[in-house]
Amino acid sequence: MSDDNLYAKNSIDYIQPLLNDSSDVFEIIDLNGTIRYISQTVERITGYHPNEMIGKNILDFIHENSANQFISMLKQILHEPGKRIKDVIHIVTMHGVHYDFVLTMTNHINNKSINGILLNWCDITKLVEMERNLEYISTHDELTNLPNRILLNKKLYHEIEKAKQNDILFALIMLDIDGLKYISDILGEQISNRLILQFHERLKMFFDKNVFISRYSDERFALLVSYITGLDDCEKLAKDIINLYEKPFMVDKYELDIYVNLGISICPNDANDLDRLKRHADYALTRSKEEGKNRYQFYARDMDIQHYKHFSLRNDLRKSIERNELIVYYQPMVNLETNQIIAVEALLRWEHPIWGMVSPLEFISIAEETGYIIDIGKWMLHEVCKDYKRWMDTGLAEVLVSINFSSIQLYEKGFVENILKTIEGYDITPNFLIMEIVESILIHNFNHVMNIINELRAKGIMIALDDFGTGFSSLQYLNRFTVDIIKLDKIFLKNFSSNETSAIIIKCVNNLCSDLSIKLLVEGIETFEQLNYLKKLGCHSGQGFLFSKPIPKEKLEYKLEHHKLMPESLPEEFITNTERRKYKRISFHEFIEANLTIIKMNDKRINIGDTISYIKNIGPGGLYFIADIGLPINDKIMLAFSFRFMDCDLKLYGYPIWKKEIGENKYEYGLEFKINVQNRKILNHIMNQIN
């Protein structure tokens, strides 16, 4: 025996135990698939003994349903000696057992000692199973076993692609369970979990497999409904879903009524990308909840600019503090006898990157709903302390500062301590601060609020009852509460000349306050007539546009230097941008009602519904219109007006270039036309009709 042969024989002797020990299976088959060799490990993995396999065709051991991939791998290397390929392959044996292997195939047809295909099977069944389990856990809800939000995203992504390619519609429905948190808080998690299972059961029974149901969050399911033909389809479905929950659930001994709300967005009509589709369904859901229980809403239909604005503010509010978009304005409160500025009220403003200056009336309720008011409140107190400290250091601080507080803030843990600590941090004493609360706060948790008020007053902080007279508790609470100031709501002054009752109420409240030694401040003084009436009654103090609108701190500091603030008639108009068009205009005796919509914002096209507006007049360069919505003044926002004029349907486009506040949340705007061919034609048409 030559050295080479000896070496070869020894190698086989060594290799055999190695092969047997290996966790991989090694196999040689010939070109027809006949097994010529297979290592003993195959028995440990599959139960087949090598002896029962050798000489038989490999396909005799692989179930035909899983043989395709194997055959295609084999075909790839069959005619290419030396070629090697590797892939993960799922095999079902003839016994019906499933395996996952990494299979390496090498063509050794030219190697005389092998003369066949070498297969190396590495068993990864457990690994794949583990991976599958992990994936399942991360993509399914533990309680209902339904796909969760991650899987919904994947599914949505595919459905959107499918809808785009095949020009089909599908709907995303957000289904919200009302009051679930309440049930969980009161009856415990176990009951609420069982309720969710029953809730899901009804849903499952109702739908066929064209509907993908996912548990989107604790209280929300997301349904993806394929193959719809239009809104009517969806509307019927929405009603059916609401009907599903008409009957109460029995969980344990409890009979539980459940209400639902649905928000529906349709792809591709409402959006054809994942984020927007979900956002729109979410938006529709918010609106449906605003309307009440057991309601549904579509994204596009009926959505007007107000809702769109509300929705976009809601989305952006959380980022407002970190982006430095919040500002404090101050409005002086004046002693009506001496005209001395006795206090200033801190009022929030939000300088939104797109919507411009947003009034607190538009976003405080969102902040309260989302709980973000707590952060805003803390930020506000810091700002006020910072300003007050500076006024002290520069000798300006002979005023008190009042801050508005929402009821939610009073329930924050450590509310009083936090306030005191913040003030202390600025090295100032708390007795400069007035806390403004509204009457309704008193009703809900009298004792809790009472304790807070007492603690704050003990530290020198004063309490003002804001918007007095608009709540329904009024007088009886004054008995039990100690407040320092009453701020009579502006509604009474607004009505006092036209409504005798208002004048009587002002007089009575004034008398009541002096009897109870509470200071009265009247809100909303706009005219000398109102001021004179209050002076005649001997009212202590007032606040209103006649003295000053809320102003930024720099302007206030200037006024504080003079201590006194004289009343000044309001200018006719507050025009933010006075660049008004001088073209010859056509004024309409009666305003033309027009459907107003936003079609572009910040260079992005948007697709929302209409808001009613009134066109006052039209010139060749633009038009004047009136609407109940605060729009920004810039060319980032393009508006479209659709209206009927002399039996023609017309549509004009343009940018708002000035605005004037003409009432509470009512504005007059100037619009500059974006002159394109269509606008030009329409304008010519209008001018011709009139002349």
**Position 235 contacts ligand C2E (CB under 6 A):** no
Helix (H/G/I), strand (E/B), else coil: 595: strand
Nearest distance, CB of residue 594 and ligand C2E, angstroms: 27
Nearest distance, CB of residue 463 and ligand C2E, angstroms: 14
Helix (H/G/I), strand (E/B), else coil: 88: strand
Give 467 or 668: the residue with its C-beta nearer to Mg ion. Answer: 467
What token pair was written down for 591?
């305003």
Give the one residue of 27, 436, 439, 668 binding Mg ion; rule: CB under 5 A: 436
What are the residues whose beta carbons fall under 8 Å from the beta carbon of 108, sequence distance 6 or more? 28, 81, 114, 115, 116, 117, 118
**Position 141 contacts ligand C2E (CB under 6 A):** no
Give the one residue of 169, 380, 381, 485 binding ligand C2E; rule: CB under 6 A: 380
Place of tokens 């003030």: 423
Give 127 or 361: the residue with its C-beta nearer to ligand C2E. Answer: 361
| Window contacting ligand C2E (CB under 6 A); options: 107-115, 265-273, 360-368, 456-464 | 360-368
Give the one residue of 419, 467, 623, 652 binding Mg ion; rule: CB under 5 A: 467
Nearest distance, CB of residue 442 and Mg ion, angstroms: 15
Nearest distance, CB of residue 380 and ligand C2E, angstroms: 5
Q: Which of Mg ion, ligand C2E, none lies near 473, with the C-beta cut-off 5 to 8 A by kind? A: none
Place of tokens 């302390």: 385
**Position 356 contacts ligand C2E (CB under 6 A):** no
**Position 331 contacts ligand C2E (CB under 6 A):** yes
**Position 348 contacts ligand C2E (CB under 6 A):** yes
Give 72 or 499: the residue with its C-beta nearer to ligand C2E. Answer: 499
For residue 230, which of 274, 263, 262, 267 has the smallest C-alpha distance? 267
**Position 99 contacts ligand C2E (CB under 6 A):** no
Q: Which of Mg ion, ligand C2E, none lies near 274, with the C-beta cut-off 5 to 8 A by kind? A: none
**β partners of residue 298:** 264
CB neighbourhood size of 504 (10 A): 12
- Is residue 630 within 8 A of residue 358, CB to CB? The reply is yes
Give 404 or 611: the residue with its C-beta nearer to Mg ion. Answer: 404
The span from the CA of 323 to the CA of 336, in Å, is: 39
Give 119 or 488: the residue with its C-beta nearer to Mg ion. Answer: 488
| Window contacting Mg ion (CB under 5 A); options: 20-28, 114-122, 460-468, 576-584 | 460-468
What are the residues whose beta carbons fall under 8 Å from the beta carbon of 526, sequence distance 6 or more? 493, 494, 544, 545, 546, 570
Tell me which residues in 446-485 interact with ligand C2E (CB under 6 A): 466-467
DSSP code, position 251: E
Q: How many residues bind ligand C2E (CB under 6 A)?
A: 22
**Position 387 contacts ligand C2E (CB under 6 A):** no
User: Cis omega (within 30 of 0) on the bond before 353?
Assistant: no
Q: Which of ligand C2E, Mg ion, none lies near 263, with the C-beta cut-off 5 to 8 A by kind? A: none
Q: Which of Mg ion, ligand C2E, none lies near 362, with the C-beta cut-off 5 to 8 A by kind? A: none
Strand residues in 198-301 grouped as ranges (E): 211-217, 220-228, 249-251, 254-256, 259-267, 295-298
DSSP 101-154: EEEEEEEETT-TTT-EEEEEEEE-HHHHHHHHHHHHHHHB-TTT--B-HHHHHH
Helix (H/G/I), strand (E/B), else coil: 320: coil
**Position 439 contacts Mg ion (CB under 5 A):** no
503 sits in which H/E element: helix 500-516
**Position 466 contacts Mg ion (CB under 5 A):** yes
The torsion of the CA quartet 33, 34, 36, 40, rounded to 10 degrees, works out to 80
Nearest distance, CB of residue 490 and ligand C2E, angstroms: 5
Helix (H/G/I), strand (E/B), else coil: 638: strand
Residue nearest to ligand C2E (CB): 544
Phi, psi of 89 (to 5 degrees): -135, 140
Q: Which of ligand C2E, Mg ion, none lies near 116, with the C-beta cut-off 5 to 8 A by kind? A: none
**Position 544 contacts ligand C2E (CB under 6 A):** yes
Give the one residue of 364, 491, 503, 586 binding ligand C2E; rule: CB under 6 A: 364
Residues at the contact surface with Mg ion, assessed by CB under 5 A: 404, 436, 466-467
Interacting residues with ligand C2E (CB under 6 A)? 331, 347-348, 359-361, 364, 380, 404-406, 436, 466-467, 490, 524-526, 543-545, 550
